[in-house]
Amino acid sequence: MANLVWEKKLSVGNVIIDAEHRNLISMVNDANRAIEAMDGLTLRHEFEHLEYWLHTHFANEEKIAQAVDFPFARLKPAQQYSLSALRHLRDGLEVEYGMWPKSTAVHFSCSLKHWIVEHITKVDMPMKPMLQAHDYNFWPGYAAGTSYSPVLVTSGAGVCGCGCDSYSSAVG
């Protein structure tokens, strides 16, 4: 199955959030490789890694949202839903004990890709208009012209490609 790739149209207009989305997409791709390999142990590790970074990402989003006066009360429940949906995917695969048919692998792989694209397009994209009023390198507490340089972990992988068309319908 094809890997998911972050593209410019997924940009929310902030270097930190965009870089973290690239990292999360890379982690989704890593989890999908474990799903395809039916490697339950690696998959468990990838989900733990993804969940850990998701908490970090949410904390950064909260800090940025508050700094640009985005109504965080709308963002917090959506973040919690994203985390809950990720845990539901993880739990569904763990029930299979690493022994799932190809159709299950395809389903969960598409679901995981759809999950991250939906997080970006439905949860974070509403912040874009407020973020665009600031420099792309905006980070709360840093002076204008000073940039924050997050560490990128990208795999260079591609758009969904699983046949579910979740990417094009979500970004449309």
- The answer as to whether 38 is a domain residue is yes
**pLDDT of amino acid 17:** 95
pLDDT at 27 (0 to 100): 92
CATH number at residue 53: 1.20.120.50
3-state DSSP assignment of residue 164: coil
Q: Residues 39-92: pLDDT tens digits?
A: 878 888 888 898 899 889 989 999 999 999 998 777 778 888 888 887 777 777
Percent of all residues in the chain with a pLDDT value above 90, rounded to a whole number: 30
3-state class of 7 per DSSP? coil
pLDDT at 134 (0 to 100): 94
Residue 26 has pLDDT above 90, yes or no: yes
Q: Which domain holds residue 29?
A: 8-171
Residue 3 lies inside a defined structural domain of this protein: no
Band the pLDDT of 137: cuts 50, 70, 90.
very high
User: Is residue 119 very low, low, confident or very high in pLDDT (cuts 50, 70, 90)?
Assistant: confident
Kindly state the tokens that stand for 40.
Answer: 């339950």
Query: Mean pLDDT, the chain, as a whole number?
Result: 78
Count how many domains the chain has.
Answer: 1
Tokens of 120: 């970006």
Q: What is the pTM of this model?
A: 0.77
What pLDDT shows up at residue 155?
Answer: 40
Q: Which long-range contacts (CB under 8 A, 24 or more apart) does 46-53 make?
A: 47/86, 47/90, 50/24, 50/86, 51/83, 51/86, 51/87, 51/90, 53/20, 53/23, 53/24, 53/27
Q: Would residue 2 count as lying in a domain?
A: no
Residue 1 lies in a domain: no
pLDDT higher at 18 or 157: 18
Give residues with Cβ within 8 angstroms of 42, minimum separation 6. 34
Q: Residue 45 falls within a domain, yes or no? A: yes
